[in-house]
Chains A and B, each alone.
Chain A
C-alpha cells in the first residue's frame, strides 16, 4: 500500500515538474519581450444594461487589440481583465476587489451605472489605483472623492443639466411642468432641472411623480394640460417616457416633451411610434462622425467580428482604454510604471483619443465637453442644436442623425 502511494506521489511530482518546465519554457520568451500591463474593465455584461455593457466591453477589447498591434506602446503590452458588474453594487464590488488584488492590474475603467461606481470608489482609493470611469455621470463620484483616483471621460450630470436647462427656454418657452419616475436618478434630474431653469428665468407651473412599471399617465397629463406649460420635462427612462409621449399626443398636449440622455435610444422610437416625433433630449455626445476617430472606429468595429452593436457608449469605452494605455506608456518612459505613476500621468497629461485630445483637470472629469440636443425627426434621433462653452444654444445649419448603429 505504502509503496503504491509513494510511487503515485513521485509520478505526480514528475508530472508537475514537467508541466512547470513546459509552461516556463513557453512563457519566458514572451515575458522577456513585453512587459504586460493589466487594465481591468468592469462593465455590466449581464443584467438590465447588458446590451450597453457588452457594446462597451467589445469596444474596449477592440481598443486593446488595436493598440497592441500598432506597437506604439514600445516594450509594454496591455491586457484587459474583463469583469461583469451586472449593474449591481454588490457584483461590482466583488469584481473590483478581485481586480485590485492582482498586482499586475495597474489601472481600471469601471462601471456604467452611477450607484455601482459610488459603491466601489473607496476600493480604488484604498488601493491607490486609477479608475477612468467610462460612463456613470453622477456628479459627486468625482467631486466628493476622498483621494485623486477617480477620473471620468464624461461630464458630470450637474454640469450637463446646467447647460441643458437653457435649451427648452430658448426653443419652447418659460412655463414648465416636471415629471419624475420616483427613482433617485429621475428625482435628481428633475430637481436640478428646476433649479437651473428657474435661474434662467423659467417658471414652474407644476410637478408630479409616477411609478416605474405604470402605464396610464393620462390623469397627471390632464392635470398638466390644465396648467398650460410650454414644455414638460421628464426625469426617467425609455419605456415610461414613450408612454407619456404617446398619451400627451392623444390628449392633444402641444407642449415640448424634453428628457435626459437615458431616453435617447432606438427603443424609445419604436415604442412611442409616430407620437415620438418632436421629442427632445440632451446628451453629452455628438454623432460619431463628428469625432476625429469616429468613422474609423465604426468601420473597425464592424470588421472586428463582434456579434453585438457598440451601442451609445462604445466610443467613450474605446477612448478610455486609449487614454489608460497612453498613460501607462508615459509612466513607463519615466520609469514610474506603477499604479501611482499612472494616476499622476492622468492628472496632468493631455491624451490623444478617437474623441480628440482629452484631459482630466481636478476633480477628474473630462475637460473637453459639449452638450448636444437631439430631436426625433422622421423616426431618427437627430442632432439639431448644441451648446457652446458659455452655454449659448446654437442651431445647426444641417441636422445630423445620431445613427446609433
Chain B
C-alpha cells in the first residue's frame, strides 16, 4: 500500500513540479509572482484537447497523437506566454511588484473567461482522452495505468530538458546571468528582453505540459482548473525557495507527498488535504521564507 501511495504521489508531484517551475523562473528573473500562470496551465490543457480532436480526425495512432499533441500545445502555449509577457509584463517591469501581481490576476481572469465563453459548452467539464484506454498493469500489489507511466516519462523528460537548457546552452547561461544580476548581464552583452521572453516561453510550455498531465490523468479538464493548480504550484515554488528551479521541482513532489500521505494515513485526512498543504505554505512563508530546500540544493 505504501508503494502504491508513493506512485500516486509521484504522478501528482509531476504536475505540481511542472507548474511550480514557472513561478520560480519568473520570480528569480523579475522578482514577480505571476498569477496568470494558472491560466496558462489551463490554456495548455485546452489547446491540447482541441489538438486531440483535430488529430483524431487524421487517424494517427494514439500514442503518437499524444506526443504530437503535447508538442503542439507546448509551442502554442509558450507563444501565448511570450505575448502575455509583451502585453502585461514588459510595460510594468519597473512598476512596484504589487501592480504586476494585480495585472497578472487580470490576465488570469481574461484567459479563464475566454475559455469559458469561447470553448463549446465551456462551463462544463470537458472529457480529456486517455491514449491508453485506461489500461493498467500490476507489479506485485502496485497497480499503474499505462497513462501514468507515460505521464511520469513526459515529466522526467521535460525536467531533464529544462536542466539541459539551463546548464548546457547559451540561453541557459543568459537566464542564469539575468537571474543573478540583470544590469551586469546587460553590460556583458546579454539581450535581457529577449532572455525574459524566452523564459516565458519555457515556463509557459512547462505549465502546458502540467495541464496536459492533469487532463490525461483525471480524464477531464475544466475552465477553472488553473486556480487550484496555480496555488499548489506556487506552494511548491515557495517551499523549494522562490528562484530556485530545482527547489521548485523538489517542492512539487514534497507537496504531493504530504497530500497523499495525509489522505492515505490520517483518518478523514482527504477532506483536509488542502488545509494541510496551505498550512505548510504559511509556515514556510513565516519561518523559512527562503524555502526549506534553499541550503540543501543551492
Residues of chain A touching chain B, judged by Cβ–Cβ distance below 8 Å, are 182, 208-211, 213-220, 222-223, 225-226, 239, 242-243, 246-247, 249-252, 267, 270-275
Encode B242-278 as 1/0 by CB contact (under 8 A) with A.
0000000000000000011111110111110110000
Using A209-B270, A246-B134, A250-B145 as known contacts, say yes or no to A222 and B219 having CB atoms under 8 A apart.
Answer: no
Task: Report whether B1 and A274 are in contact in the complex, using a CB–CB cutoff of 8 Å.
Answer: no
Using A223-B264, A271-B219 as known contacts, say yes or no to A218 and B8 having CB atoms under 8 A apart.
Answer: yes
User: How distant is B12 from chain A, measured CB to nearest CB, in Å?
Assistant: 5
Question: How many angstroms from the CA of A172 to the CA of B12 in the assembled complex?
Answer: 32
Nearest first, the 6 closest Cβ-Cβ pairs linking A and B are A219-B263, A209-B271, A252-B143, A218-B8, A219-B264, A250-B145
User: How distant is A268 from chain B, measured CB to nearest CB, in Å?
Assistant: 11
Question: Which of B17-25, B98-106, B122-130, B170-178 is the contact stretch?
Answer: B122-130
Using A273-B130, A275-B134 as known contacts, say yes or no to A219 and B270 having CB atoms under 8 A apart.
Answer: yes
Task: Report whether B270 and A250 are in contact in the complex, using a CB–CB cutoff of 8 Å.
Answer: no
Using A210-B271, A216-B259, A250-B143 as known contacts, say yes or no to A274 and B4 having CB atoms under 8 A apart.
Answer: no
- If over half of B's interface residues share one DSSP class (helix, strand or loop), that class is named, otherwise mixed; here it is helix
Using A219-B8, A243-B219, A251-B143 as known contacts, say yes or no to A274 and B134 having CB atoms under 8 A apart.
Answer: yes
Is B5 part of the binding interface, using a Cβ–Cβ cutoff of 8 Å? Answer: yes
Task: Report whether B260 and A218 are in contact in the complex, using a CB–CB cutoff of 8 Å.
Answer: yes
Is B214 part of the binding interface, using a Cβ–Cβ cutoff of 8 Å? Answer: yes
Chain A contacts of B270 at CB under 8 A? 208-211, 214, 217, 219-220
Is B218 part of the binding interface, using a Cβ–Cβ cutoff of 8 Å? Answer: yes
Task: Report whether B143 and A208 are in contact in the complex, using a CB–CB cutoff of 8 Å.
Answer: no
Using A220-B264, A222-B8, A222-B264 as known contacts, say yes or no to A249 and B134 having CB atoms under 8 A apart.
Answer: yes
23 pairs of residues in contact across A and B, judged by CB atoms under 8 Å: A208-B267, A211-B270, A211-B271, A214-B274, A215-B218, A216-B218, A216-B259, A218-B260, A219-B8, A219-B259, A219-B260, A219-B270, A220-B263, A220-B264, A222-B5, A242-B220, A243-B220, A267-B125, A271-B127, A271-B219, A273-B130, A274-B134, A275-B134
Chain B contacts of A211 at CB under 8 A? 270-271, 273-274
CB contact between B125 and one of A218, A239, A275 (< 8 Å): that residue:
A239
Closest Cβ neighbor of A246 among chain B residues:
B219
Closest Cβ neighbor of A253 among chain B residues:
B143
Closest Cβ neighbor of B2 among chain A residues:
A222
Question: How many angstroms from the CA of A223 to the CA of B260 in the assembled complex?
Answer: 11
Task: Report whether B127 and A273 are in contact in the complex, using a CB–CB cutoff of 8 Å.
Answer: yes
Chain A contacts of B34 at CB under 8 A? none
Chain B contacts of A213 at CB under 8 A? 228
Interface centre among A211, A243, A250, A252, by most B CB within 10 Å?
A250
Task: Report whether B268 and A209 are in contact in the complex, using a CB–CB cutoff of 8 Å.
Answer: yes
Using A223-B1, A251-B4 as known contacts, say yes or no to A246 and B218 having CB atoms under 8 A apart.
Answer: yes
Interface centre among A211, A213, A219, A246, by most B CB within 10 Å?
A219
User: How distant is A255 from chain B, measured CB to nearest CB, in Å?
Assistant: 14
Chain B contacts of A182 at CB under 8 A? 271
Is B57 part of the binding interface, using a Cβ–Cβ cutoff of 8 Å? Answer: no
Chain B contacts of A272 at CB under 8 A? 219
Chain B contacts of A275 at CB under 8 A? 134, 219
Task: Report whether B220 and A271 are in contact in the complex, using a CB–CB cutoff of 8 Å.
Answer: yes
A208-B267, A239-B125, A250-B148 provided; 6 other pairs, C-beta below 8 A? Answer: A210-B271, A214-B274, A217-B270, A243-B220, A271-B127, A273-B130
Is B31 part of the binding interface, using a Cβ–Cβ cutoff of 8 Å? Answer: no
User: How distant is A187 from chain B, measured CB to nearest CB, in Å?
Assistant: 10
User: How distant is B221 from chain A, measured CB to nearest CB, in Å?
Assistant: 10
User: How distant is A239 from chain B, measured CB to nearest CB, in Å?
Assistant: 6
Chain A contacts of B133 at CB under 8 A? 274
Chain A contacts of B263 at CB under 8 A? 208, 217, 219-220, 223
Task: Report whether A252 and B136 are in contact in the complex, using a CB–CB cutoff of 8 Å.
Answer: yes
Question: How many angstroms from the CA of A378 to the CA of B9 in the assembled complex?
Answer: 33
Question: How many angstroms from the CA of A222 to the CA of B4 in the assembled complex?
Answer: 7
Chain B contacts of A217 at CB under 8 A? 263, 270
Chain A contacts of B136 at CB under 8 A? 249-252
User: How distant is A378 from chain B, measured CB to nearest CB, in Å?
Assistant: 16
Using A210-B271, A213-B228, A274-B134 as known contacts, say yes or no to A267 and B124 having CB atoms under 8 A apart.
Answer: yes
Question: How many angstroms from the CA of A376 to the CA of B269 in the assembled complex?
Answer: 31
Is B295 part of the binding interface, using a Cβ–Cβ cutoff of 8 Å? Answer: no
Question: How many angstroms from the CA of A219 to the CA of B265 in the assembled complex?
Answer: 9
Question: How many angstroms from the CA of A281 to the CA of B247 in the assembled complex?
Answer: 46
Closest Cβ neighbor of B4 among chain A residues:
A222
Chain B contacts of A251 at CB under 8 A? 4, 136, 143
CB contact between B134 and one of A208, A222, A273 (< 8 Å): that residue:
A273
Chain A contacts of B125 at CB under 8 A? 239, 267, 271
CB contact between A215 and one of B4, B214, B269 (< 8 Å): that residue:
B214
Closest Cβ neighbor of B129 among chain A residues:
A273
User: How distant is B18 from chain A, measured CB to nearest CB, in Å?
Assistant: 15
Encode B213-248 as 1/0 by CB contact (under 8 A) with A.
010001110000000100000000000000000000
User: How distant is B102 from chain A, measured CB to nearest CB, in Å?
Assistant: 25
Task: Report whether B218 and A273 are in contact in the complex, using a CB–CB cutoff of 8 Å.
Answer: no
Question: How many angstroms from the CA of A271 to the CA of B220 in the assembled complex?
Answer: 6
Task: Report whether B138 and A252 are in contact in the complex, using a CB–CB cutoff of 8 Å.
Answer: yes
Task: Report whether B1 and A226 are in contact in the complex, using a CB–CB cutoff of 8 Å.
Answer: yes
Question: How many angstroms from the CA of A239 to the CA of B124 in the assembled complex?
Answer: 10
Question: How many angstroms from the CA of A273 to the CA of B145 in the assembled complex?
Answer: 15
Question: How many angstroms from the CA of A239 to the CA of B222 in the assembled complex?
Answer: 11
Question: How many angstroms from the CA of A273 to the CA of B125 in the assembled complex?
Answer: 13
Question: How many angstroms from the CA of A247 to the CA of B4 in the assembled complex?
Answer: 13
Chain B contacts of A215 at CB under 8 A? 214, 218
Closest Cβ neighbor of A182 among chain B residues:
B271
Question: How many angstroms from the CA of A23 to the CA of B138 in the assembled complex?
Answer: 79
Question: How many angstroms from the CA of A223 to the CA of B263 in the assembled complex?
Answer: 9
Interface residues of B in 125-154 (CB under 8 A from A): 125, 127, 130, 133-134, 136, 138, 143, 145, 147-148
Question: How many angstroms from the CA of A247 to the CA of B263 in the assembled complex?
Answer: 15
Chain B contacts of A226 at CB under 8 A? 1
Chain A contacts of B12 at CB under 8 A? 216, 218
Chain B contacts of A267 at CB under 8 A? 124-125
Question: How many angstroms from the CA of A329 to the CA of B271 in the assembled complex?
Answer: 52
User: How distant is B272 from chain A, measured CB to nearest CB, in Å?
Assistant: 8
